[in-house]
Amino acid sequence: MSILRALTAEPRKRLRRVITGAVLACIGAGFGAVALGFATWALFATLQPQWGTAETAAVIAAGYFIVALILFAWRSNIVAPGAAATPSTGDHRPDEPAVNGADSAEALAKTIASGNAARAGGFAASDELAKQLTPIQLVMLAALNGFISGRKT
C-alpha cells in the first residue's frame, strides 16, 4: 500500500489544490456578488431622493447594461471563434505577450515597448498583487469590500 500511496501522492496534491481553488473561487464570487448588491443598494439609496424611484432604477439598470455590453464585447474579442492557440505559448492571442510565471517580467517589458504604458501599469500592479495575495486573503478582500461598499450610505 505504501508504494501505491507514494505513486499517487502528487496527483492527489494537485487534485486537492484544484478543488480548493475552485471552492475558493466560488466563495469569492459569492462575496463579490454580495458586495455588488450592497454597492447597488447604496447607490440607489443615495440617488433615489434626488431623481425619484423610477429614474434611479433606470439609470442603475442602464449602467449594468453598459457594463454587460462591454464584457460581452471583451469576451468576443478574447475568445474569437476559429482562433487556434499556439502550443508553445498557451491559450492567448498572438499579438499579446504570454504572462506565465517567469515570463511576466518579459511580457511587461514588451507591453511597455509597444506603447501601452497605461495597460503596462495596470498589468504590473495586478501582477504584483497576484504574487503577494493568497486565495484566503483575496476572499477576505472581497468580503471587506462588500462591507465597506454597503456602509457608505
Residue 89 domain-assigned (yes or no): no
pLDDT tens, per residue, the chain with 153 residues: 567 676 677 888 888 888 999 999 999 999 999 999 999 999 999 999 999 999 999 899 899 989 888 888 888 877 665 554 444 444 445 444 444 444 566 666 676 666 666 666 666 666 676 677 777 776 776 677 666 666 654
Vertex 23 angle, CA 149 and 98, to 5°: 85
Is residue 117 situated within a structural domain?
A: yes
- Name 69's Cβ contacts closer than 8 Å, sequence gap at least 6: none
pLDDT given at position 115: 64
For residue 97, the model assigns a pLDDT of: 46
The single-letter DSSP state of residue 101 is: T
Angle at 147 between CA 143 and CA 152, to 5 degrees: 150
Locate 56 and state its grid cell: 434611479
Grouping H, G, I as helix, E, B as strand and the rest as coil, residue 82 is coil
> Could you give the count of Cα atoms lying within 13 Å of 33 in the half-sphere of its Cβ?
6
Residue 12 three-state SS:
helix
The domain tally of the chain equals 1
Number of residues that make up the chain: 153
Extract the C-alpha cell encoding 82. Answer: 476559429
In a domain, 2, yes or no: no
Residues 6+ apart with CB under 8 A from 136: 24
Note whether residue 31 is domain-resident: yes
Q: Cell 496527483 sits at which residue?
A: 11
88 domain-assigned: no
The three cell numbers of residue 26 are 466560488
Give me the domain span that covers residue 17: 7-80+94-151
How high is the pLDDT of residue 136?
74
